[in-house]
Amino acid sequence: MDRNNWRKISLILAAALLISACGTNFRGMQQDKIAVVNWQRAMESHPQYQKLQQQEKILKDLLAKRQGQENLAKAQMGSLEKLRQLRQLSEDSYWQADFNTRMVEQREREVKKLQQKIAEVEGQVDKELAPRKKAIEDNYQLEIFNLRALLGAVRLKVDERQALEAKLQELQHERGKKVMELQAEKQSLMETQLGPYRKEMQQRMADAADQYQAEMLEHRKGKEQREKEMFSAAPQALRNALAIMDREIEKQQEKNEQLRKQVNGDISSQAVKLAHERGYTIVFNQFKVNIHADDITDKVVENLKKQSPK
């Protein structure tokens, strides 16, 4: 029993005894007839004390069980949260890998189409520039051929050979320059046609990335909602389970309190009865230093044992 209950019982008992003795002359505590009851020993002697002890043990066990259940549930929820985080990391890695794979596949398809487009455009441009390319070759072919023939078949003086070689290099340079100019024109014509296609390709890649990400987000959104519902159900289940245990604890506390009141009430009744019979004006529930008091605990215990358990 806690101090507050002892204090309340002591005050009630003291008030009852003082009221019962209000017809006597009060000349100070030294002239009062005082008694004392060892309340704890009286309680332990009460016929219902063992039952009270059993009920207190049941309450203690219920409280321990509730605490254990709460600790276990918190640990499980902590494990669930760690599992959720690991799953989230795994999910992120999976979707990132899937996204990268799909984008690589998309790029490979686009590159293949681009190569086909390049070949197609190059063929068209080559066909368009073929007459001009042939004209360049025709303009220089015969003259270059003749110079090479002279250099290879006729004995020439050094200065004459040098002049022919210089002329040959000049013609080859001119031909090369015109071929390069034609090649640059070819690249320009090809880029004119391929530039818009490349932009379309880049747009298709961007659209595909957006589509993949939208699908990923939609899938993850549904999965996260299901996980959220699952994880939110766990705390509610814990609260429900603890609420059931709390109701059991509350019922047990009420039973214990009622039985404790009965035991204390019986002891109080016996003490009041003895006070009337023997003329005590004050009955303490514990011994006081420097105050002489009659110990009526044995008589209270004796009377309590005569009571039949209720």
- Residue pair 270/304 in contact (Cβ under 8 Å)? The answer is yes
16 pLDDT band (50/70/90 cuts)?
very low
Predicted local distance difference test score (pLDDT) of residue 18: 40
Any idea which of 29-33, 90-94, 170-174, 212-216 has the lowest mean pLDDT?
Answer: 29-33
Write down the pTM of the prediction.
0.48
- Residue pair 130/224 in contact (Cβ under 8 Å)? The answer is no
Predicted local distance difference test score (pLDDT) of residue 25: 39
Give the tens place of pLDDT for each residue, 194-236. Answer: 999 999 999 999 999 999 888 888 877 777 777 776 666 767 7
In whole angstroms, how large is the CA radius of gyration of the chain? 55
Give the mean model confidence (pLDDT) for residues 256-261. 94
Distance CA 54, CA 225 (A): 48
- The string over 193-213, giving b where at least 16 C-beta atoms fall within 10 Å of a residue's C-beta and e elsewhere, is ebeeeeeebeeeeeebeeebe
Give the tens place of pLDDT for each residue, 234-245. Answer: 677 778 888 899
